[in-house]
Amino acid sequence: MNLQVKGRNIAVTEALRSYAEEKLVKLGKNLNSASTMELELFCEKNPSIADNQVAEVTIFTKGPVLRAKGASSDMYASIDLVADKLSRQVKKFRSKLVSHNAHVRGSLPPEPTEAELAMAMAEEEESGEGPEIVKTKQFGIKPMAPEEAALQMEMIGHDFFVFRNADSNDTNVLYRRRDGNYGLIEPK
């Protein structure tokens, strides 16, 4: 697994880098060796935020993109928090993938199927003219079943997921409802 450590407005010391590698490389045994992990370390500038030392990790796999964020008053503790969160996500991903694939295919594949993850986030900005588009994201989408899309959405921890339905070849949106179930938006 390839680990990239970045610092935003802070200097990443060799001790901090080696500590992060020690904690995060352990996750690689449950993922594909071609996976890439990015760790971004930064300090929140707002004095009212007590847990201002933040560690944010993104793991790019053949399947979903896994993300986690940990914040505390110490950067080493933040790395510990984010490593624990990611460990749980990776275990959940592997167990759901194994049980889903065993049910669907009748056998256990060694690696997840290739699926690109789509996420579009828009941030609203206060202005007199209404909301403004401040971020645009482009992505490739591959055909998949709605059940697989639900699994992908669970892995990234977001409230919606855009995908191409393998049955109809239409672009669909899967979203989490307030009652905990899922909703599916299909074009007419």
> What's the CATH number where 171 sits?
3.30.505.50
Average confidence (pLDDT) over 73-96: 85
110 is a domain residue: no
Tell me whether residue 187 is in a domain.
Answer: yes
β-partners of residue 57 are 39, 68
Residue 13, domain CATH: 3.30.160.100
How is the beta sheet containing 143-144 ordered, strand by strand?
143-144, 160-165, 171-176, 182-185
Please check the confidence at residue 164 and state whether its pLDDT lies above 50.
yes
Cα distance between the two ends of the chain: 43
Q: Which residues contact 98 (CB under 8 A, 6 or more apart)?
A: 108
The answer to whether residue 5 scores a pLDDT higher than 70 is yes
pLDDT for residue 187: 87
84 and 32 share one domain: yes
Q: What is the mean pLDDT of the chain?
A: 77
Residue 98 has pLDDT above 60, yes or no: no
pLDDT range class, residue 64, cuts 50, 70, 90: confident
The answer to whether residue 6 is domain-embedded is yes
* Local structure of residue 19 (DSSP, 8 states): H
- Of 79, 105, 131, which residue is a domain's last? 105
The residue segments making up the domain with residue 174 are 115-188
Predicted confidence at residue 135, as pLDDT, reads 80
Task: Answer with the one of 105, 132, 163 that is the final residue of a domain.
Answer: 105
* Section 92-117 average pLDDT: 51
**99, 105 in Cβ contact below 8 A?**
no
Please give the pLDDT value at position 114: 39
Burial class (CB in 10 A: 0-12, 13-18, 19+), 7: middle
Report the pLDDT averaged over residues 95-112. Answer: 52
41 and 86 belong to one structural domain: yes
Q: Please give the pLDDT value at position 132.
A: 75
Tokens of 74: 């110490």
**Which of 78, 105, 132 delimits the end of a domain?**
105
The Cβ of residue 137 has, within 10 Å, a number of other Cβ atoms equal to: 9
167 against 61, higher pLDDT: 167
Q: Please tell me the predicted confidence (pLDDT) of residue 140.
A: 76
**Which pTM does this prediction carry?**
0.52
